Amino acid sequence: MMRRIELERGRRLTPADIVRTGGMDVEVLGVAQRIIDDVKARGDEALVEHTAQLDKVTLTELAVTQDEIEAALEAVDDDFRSAIATAAAAIEDFHRRQVTQSWFSTDESGIVLGQKVTPLSRVGIYVPGGRARYPSSVLMNAIPAIVAGVSEIAMVVPPAPDGSVDPHVLAAAAECGVSEIYKVGGAQAIAALAYGTETIARVDKITGPGNAYVTAAKKLVMGDVGIDMLAGPSEVLILADETAEPVFCAADLMAQAEHDPRAATYLVTTDPTLPDDVEAALAELLADAPRAEVIERSLVDNGLIVICPDIDSALDAADLIAPEHLEVMMAEPFELLGAIRNAGAIFLGPWTPESVGDYVAGPNHVLPTGGTARFSSPLSVDDFVKKSSVISYSLAGLEMDGPSVMTIAEAEGLDAHARAVGLRLALAYGIEDGVGGDE
């Protein structure tokens, strides 16, 4: 079912061995650009037209009303509300530990240096919707922003065919205290958040995953507005040895594959007998899986089993793939943690399925995909703040560092930079600045 590679001792996995489907389609970029330009030019009118054309929904109002939010809270059952409250509390607790404070230092000469941490004023969060529902995405995007101190959060979500928003999504928003919600999705929603319309005020940053058109639109507006990342298809890598339970491996591969036919699944193992056992378990579990067709296509098209001669080559393969989710199902998972360099989230031990990270563990489930875990991090409180350097020199400090400043400036041919220091010192001590000729 899944493609296999068996590494001989001394051979390493290479980028050519990995097939990924997350590249940006030029045609999709072109469609997204046309939609963005239209929303910039026509505002709300364009939002309504594109929603009618693309989502087959005719909107009379873009904003979700408080009555709709209250009706959603009545519509969901107590078990769901309790589960959402549990997840929200864990997510808030985890992200509060990420908060960075402003800091300042002063040296003997009176130089003050520091960093001022300021929350973003207004952010937009994109929650996938339409025929799907992702209340967990509401929590994962809104709570870090709230913890960071963001004062305004605008949420966009594609409407269902009847023009409503799923009550579970609205209930999750109510749990977070998010009440500014708009029934719009796709590239048009990203354009509205980035540039503003009559109804939707522009934001400073956009976060949250979406389809290919959403991702393309985020790429195109980046620079005019901040974004979190360009998310591709979801992925999981299971790093396993002979102690791994095959049915656990199979279940977790399926859990990722059911997202999307383009989702990527990897099994990297030092046990040559495990792949057959996992595939047997997959066949059994697929027999009654509601999303079996999606799962099977994902496993066949984008699944990869790598059989490694030793743990070092297995770790090397995992780091090359740099997965969004990395599960370590080995005898001593914590002993391997220090050797893992590239992963969005790391799940240690057989009792830690990736599903707990998606919902209730606390760490963020908005993670780098497509190998970008080599240089990117999960969504965090840091994504919702900006940092300003703070510098204050005393005269004694400028006297101490000024000559070095002038020397470097003159070497770069920037006379005015040097003079900005020289003039100050000259005024302070009643002498000519000695830079760039006579005064």
Active-site annotation, residues: 324-325
Cα 191 to Cα 186: distance, rounded to the nearest angstrom: 9
Phi, psi of 308 (to 5 degrees): -110, 150
* Two tokens, residue 164: 């409503």
Phi, psi of 303 (to 5 degrees): -90, 145
How far is C-alpha 131 from the chain's CA centre? 22
Cα 358 to Cα 362: distance, rounded to the nearest angstrom: 9
- 3-state SS assignment for residue 199: coil
Degrees to nearest 5, angle at CA 100 with 94 and 105: 155
Cα 39 to Cα 33: distance, rounded to the nearest angstrom: 10
**Residue 79, burial from CB neighbour count under 10 angstroms (0-12, 13-18, 19+):** exposed
E strands within 157-274? Answer: 180-182, 205-207, 226-227, 235-240, 264-269
* Two tokens, residue 201: 């005020």
Cα 244 to Cα 246: distance, rounded to the nearest angstrom: 6
Tokens 């393309």 belong to which residue? Answer: 216
At 411, the amino acid letter reads A
Cα 293 to Cα 271: distance, rounded to the nearest angstrom: 28
Contact 225/205 with Cβ under 8 angstroms?
A: yes
Please state whether beta strands 385-392 and 122-126 pair in parallel, antiparallel, or not at all (unpaired).
unpaired
Contact 152/51 with Cβ under 8 angstroms?
A: no
